[in-house]
Structure 1
Amino acid sequence: MIEKIADYLKQKKLLNRLKLQDDFTVTFLAQGEYNQNFLISDGQRKYVFRLNYGSQLQLTNQISYEYQALEWLEKSQRTPKVYYVDDQRQDFSQGLLIMAFLEGEPLDYRKDLLTAADIFSDIHQLAIDTTAEKYFVTEKENILAARIEECQVLLNPVFKSSVITERAKHLLATALEENKKNVHQQDFFDQQKLWSVNNTEVNSHNFIIGEKGYLIDWEKPVISHPVQDISQFLASTTTLWRSNLKLTLTEKQEFLTRYLMRTSFDPAAFFKALQIYHPYLMLRALSWSAMAYDNYLTGDKALKNQEIFEKVSQYLEPEFLAKALREDVLKDE
């Protein structure tokens, strides 16, 4: 793959376009569930070469969606600058894009919470214009129903699975029915009309913290209430994902205070939105984990990550699952 990428850059005459020297290198960078990333460098300039293997939004042209999102988000100065996209799948079986490589480290919850609040506030305050309305999937009218629909799709193979315990199936099915009963709370979001572009995948390793802080991995952004990102950021399933820790109530309060101060969003209304939305977020996170667990053991995935498999296995332990589905993000455990 490394040789293929190097040849592709030369054949497409991208060295001049990217101002790369002839002695550039290509090295493996990172792999997730749906993407592989490679580092292109000539010692002076660095880029990420990203190959896409699937769409969580069930899009027919996933890589172009991500490219357009990054173009629109560039004005926030909190996302990677994007330079090139190829969605033809002629040279590679996957769609691909090239974006800036950002220097820094993953977010450290213990010292970078205020920086995260600043990143979110700069992104969430971008006004939704006609271009955004055209580009992005929107959940303006169905933020809660969208989670229910998503969870039903995720849980369909789970409820039929031979490797998921009956206890886990029961807990997930019960939570799904409870959330269905409360979908009428969508009215609250309709009245607020507080919409922004949300990343929807805000674990610590999707942040780059250096001289400045950035949010990366924009494969499934949507127009939604900003509580979607904030709820996920604070959730135990997110903080445990790559950092294996839970935020204290004090840490959550400090983060929210900074975020609400910078955005000027009404605190009382935002806290209510957080209370309403969080059960849907937790159900979605745990439904995805159950789906992934089943798929790892019974499916034929193009990309596999042992660390992810171990984490979703932990999330399906009955005690953890039951507690997580009842999580109140604004209270200490």
Structure 2
Amino acid sequence: MKCRKRILIIRLKSIGDVIQTLPAVRMVRENFPDAHISFLVCRSNASLIQGFQDVDEIIEIDRSRMKRGIFAFIAELFRIIHRMINGRFSLVIDLQGYGETALLSRITGAKERWGMVYSRGRKWAYTKWANRNKHVHAIEKNIQLLTACGLKPGTIENHFVLPASSREAAKKVFISRGLDLDKPLLYIQAFTSTPSKNWPLEKYLAVAEDWRACGGQVVFGGGTADAVALAPVSAAGFEVFTGLPILVSAGLMYWSTLVLGGDTGMLHIANAMGKRAVMLIKNCHPGRADLYQHKEWVIDPSGCGSLSEIAVEKVIDTCRNGFPMSYVPGISLAV
């Protein structure tokens, strides 16, 4: 009896980059329908893989533990090395391409090891590789690697399935704040991980005020570290949700009518869930991480200008264009 192929896919971080491996994982499944597919990811992002229908097993690496001192570092290092060796993987696909992931790929002892190469010195870790193409979208980079290594490309599917438990948890959070899920709701993710990627908060507030003036509901989301910075939003009378588990925050977007924000992983989750979104992002290079297959939902400043150059009116108009039958000046959004 032929052994079932065991495949390990590696992408440790971050939220957006992990989500953007979805089409590659689907492509692997289409080429190896009977394989057992494991996904190695940082513990902080591990819950995301629950939305990957083609993954059979989640393997976590606790990078935070490795920062707690030498003994914790060694313990976690040996734990993950042991897990890699005993995984009995026949194929490893490293979609990260960092030094540590190259090393982990090699440690598995898999007969086939494919990787995205950022520098020539890491080719030793792989049996097949593709040089990183910085001129294409992250999703296309991953597909190019798999194609270069011999897999047959099919229809690209960027589909994240939010667990029912997370949808229900988010629904309860909304209801506890008195929000009506039957009425139009704008979810704003105002902050990204990089200050230069942020549109000014006062401009997001202007969009929020416009939505509210038309009878719509508005909520702001963010991480625990964003709570203080979002204080002006609460003062303006808008609901703010910070520090929630990733999947519950995804659930808030699931129940929303429109998601607005910058170049952040949450916007990529919204896109992969099929939600209507508007992303504000700088247009400085062709390989930027915009909303895949929905460039028409992206707003950027001219050239490589600052995001602050984007006019509030342009964002308001783009939001309105997403709902031409219900969101027009002077007409209430309320149902």
Normalization by structure 1: what TM-score?
0.32
Query: Whose Rg is larger?
Result: 2
> Relative contact order: is structure 1 or structure 2 higher (C-alpha 8 Å, sep ≥ 6)?
1
